[in-house]
Amino acid sequence: MNKILTALLLAAIAIPAAHADDAPAEVRTKAFKKMLLTFEPLGMVVRERAPYNKTQFEQQAETLRTLAREPFNHFPANSISGKSRAKPEIWSQPAKFQANRDALLKATDNLAAAAKSGDLASIKKSYGQVAQSCKTCHDAFRGPEK
């Protein structure tokens, strides 16, 4: 099996297994950070600070699509603890929170599709939609650093 496939498989397996016993706030924070580590290199390409390599960009966009789904499995009721910046509105406005999540997931789908097409204008547009969906949700549902 090639290295990239192996890495993708390991990443997929590692998410649920590694932190199964941690508090949900910690698990989702780690999952968001992991997602950001994939999002940032895409941003470098979009801002033309790193070279565009279609195959690599496509793989990273696909990884982002997968990673973006993970944190939302870890928002059980009232799971605010420690350094969690989650606001109570996540649970008091569940429909709005879910709409924000769905917007992110759709935007990552669009970005993966654009990456497949190799059309840089669509890539930039859907990258912007992902970034905007991060911000919209943070503005509504993420409190200040603790």
Q: What residue has token string 């195959």?
A: 55
Is there binding between residue 47 and ligand ASC (CB under 6 A)? no
- Ligand-binding site membership of 56 (annotated): no
What tokens appear for 124 in the block? Answer: 């930039």
Is 138 one of the annotated binding-site residues? yes
Q: Is 135 in the site for ligand ASC (CB under 6 A)?
A: yes
Q: Among 18, 36, 37, 44, indicate the residue that binds ligand ASC (CB under 6 A).
A: 36
Smaller CB separation from ligand ASC, 39 or 141: 39
Assess 44 for contact with ligand ASC (CB under 6 A).
no
Q: How far is the CB of 142 from ligand ASC (least distance, A)?
A: 8
Residue with tokens 């949700």, as numbered in its chain = 137
Give me the residue label for tokens 């924000």: 100
Contacts of 98 (CB under 8 A, 6+ apart): none
The CA distance from 44 to 52, in Å, is 9
For residue 46, the minimal CB distance to ligand ASC (Å) is 11
Backbone angles phi, psi at 30, to 5 degrees: -60, -40
Size of the site for ligand ASC (CB under 6 A): 6
When asked if residue 111 is in the footprint of ligand ASC (CB under 6 A), the reply is no
The C-alpha atoms of residue 117 and residue 50 are separated, in whole angstroms, by: 19
Q: Is the four-CA dihedral 78, 66, 40, 113 of positive or negative sign?
A: negative
**Contact status, residue 61 vs residue 112, Cβ threshold 8 Å:** yes
Choose one: 10-18, 74-82, 98-106, 134-142; the region binding ligand ASC (CB under 6 A): 134-142
CB of 138 to ligand ASC, least distance (A): 6
19 labelled ligand-binding: no
Task: Give me the residues that bind ligand ASC (CB under 6 A), please.
Answer: 36, 39, 131, 134-135, 138
